[in-house]
Amino acid sequence: MPQFVPQAQPPLAFIPQSLNPMVVETVRFLLPLWMPWKLSITSAEAENLAVLVKLYQEFQAGNVRFLMAFRHPSTKDPFAMSNMLWRLLPQEARKAGIRFKTPTYSHFIYDRGIPLWAGSFVSWLFPRLGGTPILRGKADRTGLRAARDLFANSPYPIAVSPEGGTNEHNEIVSPLEPGVAQLGFWCVEDLLKAGRSESVVIVPLNIRYSYVSPPWEALKDLMDQLETQMGLSATSGPVPHLLADPQADRLYGRVLRLGEHLLAEVNAFYRQYYQLESPADPPEDCTDRNAKLAFQLKQQLDIALQVAEAFFGLPAKGNLVDRCRRLEQAGFDRIYRQDLDQLTPLKRGMADWVAQEASLRIGHMRLVERLTMVSGNYILTKPTGDRFAEVILILWKIMTYIQGGRPHNPPTLGPQALKMTIGDPISVTERWPVYQENRRGARQAVDDLTQTIQAALEEMSAREP
């Protein structure tokens, strides 16, 4: 069930970052205990740390400004980044005989909506760890101005996920948003205006989690729970004979069956209660179950978004990400009002009605966000325990969300190993001549830089752990 908002709220205030070394050091001290206890991460390593050591050294010498563009497969990523910067990086520097002038802290950009589901403690903690918020779905001038200033002027670098949000996959990189590349060019511009000579680079950084041992038994137990919630019998149905390993093949058959039934239930829900047409049947030559599921899923996502777009009076244009961001902002505009203190009691009551309805309609968009993470051939192309776990946990989160549970607290399937990989720095300064020519050149430079970052992250994600 979507998060229900009972009444209209004041606007979401900007929360300025206020990095507090005492808070950072307290969290740094607790990380080795927190990661295995709460996150089930029992080991952590980083590849190519020497690249980051050199960048921090150059940064503190006033020669370079840099942004870390990190992959975002999980809500565990902030802890992974913190552990690397606060613990692994200083250790690597000491091995090389390098002493940093200041601690290896970092600012980071986070979605202003996170504290709405994560709680008020996050509103207190994130700013003190150096976080600066931004509102997705619109030109948040205040948030962008703050991030731009930190990138150019803070004594610490900044970290951003160019994917925007988590995509729940360790080996798939979502299409990147252009904001990271744009921040890079703004930083070059600000430095030039100030008569400064630092070069600007963006560092692609991959984050990957893998289970210490394939969690087959835990996955079977979780599938039992999901099938029970779906009302499916314990029998797994016909074995698909798509995978060489019999155990994996049987489990894959159960995953396919659960996905098909979940999609059928969602389809019936929208057809019965919103009078929307069912997705069209797949083409006659589409006989593969994965292809059928992917074909119907794509249409179902469009249908779910139409329900929200019709309520908010929005056109169905752009890709799914664009449509989701537009819906999110439309909902926030109706829930977090600038004019509450100007409303009569009667109009305030009406504003509460609008906020309540908007909060529920946003739920359709949230469902779409989760369903877009489902990939038809992800397991089939590489049937590892890790990939099975990613897809089954996505299904668990979707079903938990629909039932009103807490999808951000998934079950633990077993201990995991964390590996981070630092890529080669990408120069933004070298691309500045194209950017500053004209508007067309600026758009092209931003697009080209975004694609370069995308390619670097995809190359690192494709490597074997």
Examine residue 407 and state whether it is found in any structural domain, yes or no. no
- Residue 408: inside a domain: no
Q: Which long-range contacts (CB under 8 A, 24 or more apart) does 172-180 make?
A: 172/375, 172/378, 172/461, 173/71, 173/454, 173/457, 173/458, 173/461, 175/321, 175/454, 176/450, 176/453, 176/454, 176/457, 177/321, 177/450, 178/446, 178/447, 178/450, 180/67, 180/69, 180/450, 180/453
- pLDDT given at position 291: 77
In a domain, 2, yes or no: no
Q: What share of the chain is helix, strand, coil (3-state, %, to 5)?
A: 55, 10, 35
The verdict on 368 and 247 lying in the same domain is yes
What residue numbers bound the domain in which 440 lies? 21-212+415-462
- By the 10 Å C-beta count (0-12 exposed, 13-18 middle, 19+ buried), 11 is classed as middle
176 and 66 in a single domain? The answer is yes
- Residue 70: exposed, middle, or buried by beta-carbon count in 10 A (0-12, 13-18, 19+)? buried
Q: Which pTM value belongs to this model?
A: 0.92
The answer to the question of residue 278 being in a domain is yes
3-state secondary structure 343-412: CCHHHHHHHHHHHHHHHHHHHHHHHHHHHCCCCCCHHHHCCCHHHHHHHHHHHHHHHHHHCCCCCCCCCC
Domain boundary among 402, 424, 443: 402
Please give the pLDDT value at position 287: 67
For residues 286 and 374, state if they share a domain: yes
Nearest to 367, CA basis, from 290, 304, 413: 304
Task: Please tell me the total count of domains within the chain.
Answer: 2
Q: What is the pLDDT of residue 198?
A: 97
> How far is CA 315 from each of CA 296, 308, 310, rounded to the nearest angstrom?
22, 10, 8
Residues 250 and 274 both lie in one domain: yes
Q: Tell me: the pLDDT tens digits for 236-291?
A: 566 777 888 888 999 999 998 998 899 889 989 998 898 877 767 777 666 677 77
Residue 354 CA to residue 271 CA, distance in Å, equals: 24
Q: What are phi and psi of 95, to 5 degrees?
A: -60, -35
Are residues 324 and 205 located together in one domain of the fold? Answer: no
> What whole-number distance in Å separates Cα of residue 436 and Cα of residue 191?
14
Question: Left, alpha or beta for 26 (phi > 0: left; psi -120 to 50: alpha)?
Answer: alpha
Residues 57 and 155 in one domain: yes
In a domain, 8, yes or no: no
The reply to whether 49 falls in a domain is yes
Last-in-domain residue among 351, 370, 402:
402
Task: Compute the distance between CA of residue 162 and CA of residue 206 in angstroms, rounded to an integer.
Answer: 12
Q: Which amino acid, residue 112?
A: R
In whole angstroms, what separates CA 297 from the centre of its chain? 21
Q: How far is CA 261 from the centre of its chain?
A: 27
**Per-residue confidence (pLDDT) for residue 196, from 0 to 100:** 97
Read off the tokens for 40: 């089930």
Does a structural domain hold residue 14?
A: no
Looking at the fold, whether 172 and 50 belong to one and the same domain comes out as yes
Instruction: Residue 208: name the closest of 53, 88, 86, 72 by CA.
Output: 72
Would you state the structure tokens that stand for residue 132, as one six-digit string?
């600066």
Same domain, 42 and 80: yes
Tokens of 272: 């019965």
CATH code assigned at 457? 3.40.1130
Name the stretches of the chain with pLDDT < 70. Answer: 1-2, 137, 234-238, 279, 284-287, 375-376, 465
Q: How far apart, in whole angstroms, are the C-alpha atoms of residue 250 and residue 204?
A: 38
Q: Which of 352, 376, 402 is the last residue of a domain?
A: 402
Name the DSSP class of 77: H
What the block records as the tokens of 160 is 């951003």
Q: What is the pLDDT of residues 382-428, one digit of tens each?
A: 999 999 999 999 999 999 999 988 888 899 999 999 999 999 999 99
Could you tell me if 75 and 114 lie in one domain? yes
284 shares its domain with 267: yes
| Per-residue pLDDT, 243 | 86
Q: 327 with 419, same domain?
A: no
Q: pLDDT per residue over 34-60, tens digit each? A: 999 999 999 999 999 999 999 999 999
Asked if 200 and 231 sit in the same domain, the reply is no
Alpha-carbon distance of 380 to 92, in angstroms, equals 39
Domain for residue 419, yes or no?
yes
